[in-house]
Amino acid sequence: MTTFKETGLSPEVLKAIDELGFITPTPIQVQTIPTLLKSEKDLVALAQTGTGKTAAFGLPIIDQVQIGEATVQALILCPTRELCLQISEDLKRFSKYRRGLDVQAVYGGTEIRNQIKAIKGGCQVIAGTPGRVNDLINRNILKLDNIKWLVLDEADEMLNMGFKEELDAIIGSTPQGRQTLLFSATMSPEISGMANRYMHNRDEISVGSKNSGSKNITHSYFMVHARDRYDALKRLADIYPGIYGIVFCRTRQETKDIAEKLISDGYNAEALHGDLSQVQRDNVMARFKSRHLQILVATDVAARGIDVNELTHVINYNLPDDPEVYIHRSGRTGRAGRKGESIAIIHTKEKGKLQSIERLGKISFEHRQVPNGPEICQKQLLHFIEKVEQTEVNQDQISPLMDEVYAKLANIDRDELIKRFVTAEFNTLLDYYNDSPDLNVRKEDGRNERKGGKGYTRMFINLGKASNFNPPSLFNLIESYTGKRGIDLGRIEVLRNFSFFEIAPEWVTPIVNALNNQTYNGERLLVEPAASKGEDERPARAKGEKRFGSKFSGKKEYQKDFKRDFKSDKKPRSFKRK
């Protein structure tokens, strides 16, 4: 199949997409459109974001909706307001020549009365977010008795955002005879469970490998000390003067801090996070989509639903704990056949995370060196010269001024003039990068960090999985009781009844003083430096006995028993040294 005409779509729909410039369907569209036009079986479609999923399910639905019926026949659920609006606008364009077909978007964060009025006026297709759709169903405004198509778009994202209860309620309101279409970028156990619960006699279509990254994206990482992470980010922004990308951070406070630093350092950046009002969010997104912003600093939750095809880079200021989240992040670049680059800024403790991402996503990271000052200055200069070459001169405006300019510069020869021109333009940048340090981690630095010499201090906390404790809980505890945000943490290990985390040495005393004897879900906290790895790392006060050594008669026996002790939180059995 080489054109949309071969998919079986009606002349009215083909005319609309032809005007939009659509000629050749994408791989997911090639497999999905003919299937949905001929079959009423449920369908699971796995494909990365940016592969044309909206047209893949939207075109056959638009083609088959009964215009004479003023009831809701298709419901498309998606995770965010932005994606909801994008889908509804696309469907309206696809249905341009299907007169009488009405598409409505319903979402939170805006006045509900207008959406109620639109539904009561009659529409056949609704794109909505789970929260608002569920609200409209509970108000007895949105009736799904005649639903023929139920689409779960970016289903993995909806589950990650905690919409499971809303999805269960909505799907329970739809008739049994509906056709359910589940679109997802990854096939996680949760998605498999959802498919098993809600779908029967289904087909599955996959473009590329499950949970794999796009082939249009290159993946690289830069290894620096944790304290140099922001300086490395600035150098990457400088070495890519034409960057148009997203910087992903772990927390909304970190997002704010990094964006504020970039702005104060003269970068064209802005933050996108959960504390913004809908009006503020819309303003930031409008500026970003129109490319008035080069760098958007965002959390994973805030970035969901962003639909921009031209992104050149995705930068992971922090690697996510879940490898699937990295695949989602990287999938925001390299869209619509374009090339993209996904970059991770890591410290020496994060190589394990990279390896997990490589295994899950079937990708390979290239280790690259953080650029030095001369490299950046040369790249910036060449970019500026290219910009000068491409600048169009408005003769009417500039000509009257040139006589005086020529007179001022008459005594300076060509070479000297160019040197002064470049110096005037780049003086600040040249001064900043003069004798700039090497930010790359040397092998001996990595060894020192692993020994605890220059890196993190390993800490113990008496909370674990049994207390519903997890890495975000640790960040919240530290921020709540210290009043400080963005404190640099290393590796976090959450066990059943207690956990270990790594932190910069200068924060050990402040955190011990701030957290000890505080409470978490009714439990009094104990936080202390842990012993070196290989020993029983629980502090003596936590276990009531002396630590035991690291050399044992049987390594396998030690690992087996120590693992069992961790799970049961029993006192470790003593071992005799040889």
Tens-digit pLDDT profile for residues 441-452: 875 454 444 444
Tell me, what's the pLDDT at 543? 47
Burial call 268-291: b when 16+ CB within 10 Å, e when fewer? ebbbbbeebeeeebbebbeebeee
Least trusted range by pLDDT, from 222-231, 310-319, 459-468, 551-560? 551-560
The answer to whether 266 and 43 are in contact (CB under 8 A) is: no
SS3 534: coil
**In angstroms, rounded to a whole number, what is the distance separating the alpha carbons of residues 510 and 115?**
51
Least confident of 98-102, 235-239, 319-323, 378-382: 319-323
**Whole-number pLDDT of residue 50:** 64
285-289: list long-range contacts, CB under 8 Å, 24+ apart. 285/82
Q: Of 247-256, 268-277, 425-434, 541-550, which gets the smallest average pLDDT? A: 541-550
Rounded distance between C-alpha atoms, residue 232 and residue 368, angstroms:
12
575: pLDDT strictly greater than 50:
no
Separation CA 422–CA 377 (nearest Å): 11
Pick from 189, 134, 127: nearest CA to 163: 134
Contact between residue 77 and residue 167 where contact means Cβ atoms under 8 Å apart? yes
Tokens of 187: 């096939």
Tell me which range, 59-68, 191-200, 376-385, is most confidently predicted by mean pLDDT.
59-68
Helix (H, G, I), strand (E, B) or coil at 460: strand
- The pLDDT score that the predictor gives to residue 41 is 92
Using an 8 Å Cβ cutoff, are 278 and 287 in contact?
Answer: no
Determine the Cα–Cα distance for residues 572 and 538; give it in Å rounded to an integer. Answer: 10
Which CATH number does 217-372 carry?
3.40.50.300
Least confident range of 3-12, 30-39, 213-222, 285-294: 213-222
Mean pLDDT (the chain) is 82
- pLDDT of residue 577 exceeding 50, the answer is no
Q: Which amino acid is at 433?
A: Y
**Considering the chain, what percentage of its residues have pLDDT values greater than 70?**
86
Length of the chain: 578
**pTM, 2 dp:** 0.56
Q: Stretch 416-435: mean pLDDT, rounded?
A: 82
pLDDT at residue 555, rounded to an integer? 35
pLDDT confidence tier of residue 548, bands split at 50, 70 and 90: very low
The better pLDDT of the pair 573, 183 is held by 183
* pLDDT(35) > 80: yes
Determine the average pLDDT of the residues in 361-386.
88
Residue 533's φ and ψ, nearest 5 degrees, are: -60, 145
Under 8 Å between Cβ of 8 and 34: yes
Contacts of 324 (CB under 8 A, 6+ apart): 156, 186, 188, 211, 360
Give the closest residue to 496 by CA, choosing from 569, 389, 417.
569
**Which range has the top average pLDDT, 171-185, 333-347, 561-575?**
171-185
For tokens 């410290």, name the residue: 347
> What is the rounded distance in angstroms from the CA atom of residue 333 to the CA atom of residue 308?
8
Point out the least confidently predicted range of 122-126, 184-188, 429-433. 184-188
293-325 b/e (C-beta count within 10 Å ≥ 16 → b): bbbbbbbbbbbbbbbbeebbbbbbbbbbebbbb
DSSP, res 537: -
> What phi, psi does 503 have (nearest 5°)?
-150, 155
Closest CA to 88 of 69, 70, 75: 75
Question: What was the pLDDT predicted at 208?
Answer: 57
Residue 143's pLDDT band, with cuts at 50, 70 and 90, is very high
d(CA 196, CA 188): 12
| Chain mean position to CA 4 | 32
Tokens for 322, please give them. 């879940």
| Cα 266 from chain centroid (whole Å) | 24
Q: Which of 59, 49, 48 is nearest to 25 (CA)?
A: 59
| CA proximity to 8, closest of 483, 240, 445, 25 | 25
For residues 296 and 420, which has the higher predicted lDDT (pLDDT)? 296
* C-alpha to C-alpha distance for 42 and 494, rounded to whole angstroms: 39
Distance set, CA 380 to CA 231, 384, 451 (Å): 17, 6, 39
Which residues fall within 8 angstroms of residue 288, CB to CB, at 6 or more apart? 270, 272, 296, 308
Mean pLDDT of 21-40: 87
Considering only 102-106, 410-414, 540-544, which range has the smallest mean pLDDT?
A: 540-544
Q: Which CATH number fits domain 456-568: 3.40.50.150, 1.10.1740.10, 3.30.2040.10, 3.30.70.330?
A: 3.30.70.330
The mean per-residue pLDDT over the stretch 15-36 comes to: 88
Numbered ranges of CATH 3.40.50.300 in the chain: 4-206, 217-372
User: Does residue 557 register a pLDDT over 70?
Assistant: no
| pLDDT higher than threshold 80 for residue 460 | yes
- What amino acid occupies position 324? E
| Residue 336: pLDDT band with limits 50, 70, 90 | low
In this prediction, residue 141 has a pLDDT band, given cuts at 50, 70 and 90, of: very high
Quote the tokens at residue 45.
């479609």
To the nearest 10°, report the CA torsion of 219, 222, 226, 230: -90
Tokens encoding 104: 């409505």
Q: Which fold has domain 4-206?
A: Rossmann fold (3.40.50)
**Edge-to-edge strand ranges of the sheet holding 149-153:** 103-106, 125-128, 74-77, 149-153, 179-184, 43-46, 203-206
Q: How far apart are CA 393 and CA 213, in angstroms?
A: 44
User: Tell me, what DSSP letter sits at residue 339?
Assistant: -
Mean pLDDT of 83-103: 91
Asked if pLDDT for residue 315 goes beyond 60, the answer is yes
More confident residue, 94 or 196: 94
Residues 6+ apart with CB under 8 A from 363: 212, 213, 217, 219, 357
The model's pLDDT over 479-537, given as tens digits with 9 standing for 90+, comes to 888 877 667 777 888 898 899 998 888 888 889 999 998 888 888 999 999 865 444 44
Residue 519 β-bridge partners: 524
| Spatial distance between the Cα atoms of 337 and 65, rounded to a whole number of angstroms | 31
Q: What is the Cα–Cα distance from 182 to 42, expressed in whole angstroms?
A: 8
Enumerate the CATH 3.30.70.330 domain ranges in the chain, comma separated. 456-568
**Cα–Cα distance measured from residue 219 to residue 483, given in angstroms and rounded to the nearest whole number:** 36
Question: Which segments of 199-243 does DSSP mark as H helices, in order?
Answer: 229-239
